[in-house]
Amino acid sequence: MDTTPPNAILALAADLLFASRIRAVAESAGRSVTLVRSADAAIEAVTAGAIRLAFLDLEARAIDVPALIRRIRAVPNAPHIVAFGRHTSTESLAAARAAGADRVLARSAFVRALPELLSAAG
């Protein structure tokens, strides 16, 4: 049985410190966060139906994030997808955009926009 609260946030981050930072900001905004470390775990959480917003780190090298974005897009009632990465990784940022991410941000812009993203996701 899925225990993910409704309107939860999914976060896939390349490093645990950054994932913890996302979780801290989300929880201070009253949102729950499901941290995942694999594409399969992300799809499982999304298909459970409670995830409304997905934060995907393009620096998660063990995962083909653009392919994950396409897989998430194929799920009915897919969450809003925000992909982020280094501003110098123009190919990764463009690939995320082409795969269907709703927003693609440089990591620094993502950090600045995080409170807004959380409140906009309801």
Q: What is the pLDDT along the chain (122 residues), one digit of tens a residue?
A: 445 455 689 999 988 888 999 999 999 988 899 999 999 999 999 998 789 999 999 999 889 999 999 999 999 989 999 999 998 889 999 999 999 999 999 999 999 999 999 887 65
What whole-number distance in Å separates Cα of residue 110 and Cα of residue 52?
Answer: 17
Q: Taking the model in full, what pTM does it have?
A: 0.91
Task: Give residue-wise pLDDT tens across range 52-62.
Answer: 999 999 999 88
Residue 78 has a pLDDT of 93
For the chain, give every domain's residue range: 8-120
CB atoms within 10 A of CB 4: 17
Select the CATH number that applies to the domain covering 8-120 from these four: 3.40.50.2300, 3.40.50.1980, 3.40.50.720, 3.40.50.10490: 3.40.50.2300
